Structure 1
Amino acid sequence: MTTSDDTPADADAGATEPGGTLVLAGTPIGDAADAPPRLGAELTAADLIAAEDTRRLRRLTQALGVRPAGRVVSYFEGNEAARTPELVEALTGGARVLLVTDAGMPSVSDPGYRLVDAAVRHGVRVTAVPGPSAVLTALALSGLPVDRFCFEGFLPRKRGERLARLREAAAERRTLVYFEAPHRLAEALEAMTEVFGAERRAAVCRELTKTYEEVRRGPLAELAGWAADGVRGEITVVVAGAPEQAPEALDAAELAARVATREEAGQRRKEAIAEVARAAGVPKREVFDAVVAAKHAGSR
């Protein structure tokens, strides 16, 4: 929400607090028309704008028809560590600093976390301009469950490290979201097929909100074959979580044995029975009866 003169609604309130304000601004992931209305107001109100790519920022401001009044500096992976103290100094001096990345929300696989951490440690107010998100857009378009998900960012470039990272998530039940470079997509999908299984459902979302937007859905093996010929554009991969495993079928003797093992380890029988029943997917009474039967069999 902005005031009638397009000044950010919280600018005056923040000015009475000691120090400045760090504003994390979400930017369009493709179509400039998706920019939130407040972004233009923040671009004109900021004393200092830290941009991942100043050239892209210039194109964005031209598309939005706004002209930043404050100083613009670059803030990207290569100079993030060196420039953070300078930005913190401006913030503690009372400046309103706007942080923007090439696309999406700062800190989400982009520069930002280091500055937010430093600002918080210095008692600086941090707020945000919500904006488009490739993670949420791809998740919504994937056709996969969205009630629970986890964002995994970019996979490691080396094959061994990539496989190790995927194995860590092999049993994850939540939907998984990854970013990937187009020239590494085929290798990433092949690795996912190897670790998650050929039939695991997934979606490859390419060039979201842009002219050539494309969403490919299907089993991982099928998607890996499609990507083998080469794919262009910004890529987000959404993978279904691990399927629920059917409880292991155990007979009465094995149920009793597992309870006994837990008891020998110092667990109370009641708790041991509850855990074994939960793991086996059977009623606690069934496990209790198995324990009693085993005890009677052993006393004969």
Structure 2
Amino acid sequence: SADFILLGLLSRTNVHMFPMATIFLAFIAALSGNALLILVIQVDSSLHTPMYFFLRQLAFMDICQTLIIVPKMLADFLTPGNPISPAGCGAQVFLMLTMGVSECLLLAVMSYDRYIAICNPLQYPILMSRNVSFLLSAGVWMGALVNALIQTVFTLPLPYCGSKEIDHFFCEVPALLKLSCSDTSQYEAMVFVTGIVLLLIPSSIILASYAYILSAVLRMKSTKGQQKALVTCLSHLTVVVMFYGAGIFMYMRPGSYHSPEQDKIVSLFYTIVSPPLNPLIYSLRNRDVLRALRKLIGIFKVFQ
């Protein structure tokens, strides 16, 4: 079957340099920030705790997400109207869904981890033992892979009889459904139900965890401790609202309400904006990580 054509982020304008440069910088920031975080956690044994075990996976997901989208996107900026084969398109759908959904589930696991650490500190070593962490992590990846496989297998064989131009900067399920000339209402209903399971339930878990954490924090005696915890919670919640809000907006609205311009802007949040922000918000403002980073820089200086 014929190739698809990705119209890209700015399908109707010629001023490409500024957005291209911005996306390239976000790409470099996401790769270097997340790679540095993985290295620091790997090297420093004091960071071998469940929280950093999950953070390392979040960083890995962000690196993968950036690599799946941005290189092809930058190539399309340089030569608009680049074709993408059905197999390439399927790979993008499958890999992006795997990474996106695993991040949704992992953020919920991370909020549960913080809830236990702050609200049940004495039981933390039992409730978040090494085995429990591995099981939660395996559950996250299995859930994401199964969902991605089902959605990819359903989406790609749909008949695409008209234009093969996808008005988007990567192959994403809602954009492909718009191109299909068959009745996709049943499939859209399935995507909606999946959205409830993979977006609404995890985001509810996160909001509940942070509500408990905040109530525990407000009972603290130290004002400094309160402020620190509040700033941390708020920065985490900012990421959560941005990430899940964008996902819910994309996958839980009826197809007739989708406009390509809106979809592209919303997709930018979880593909381009979130990956460079996560290492900053979750870790590089964290005392333990900064201490480990200084130690690592010290080791490099010794070898020079």
TM-score over 0.5 for the pair? no
The answer to which structure has the higher helix fraction is: 2
Which structure would you say has the larger RCO, counting Cα contacts within 8 Å and 6 or more residues apart? Answer: 2
The TM-score with structure 1 as length reference comes to 0.21
Higher-Rg member (1/2): 1
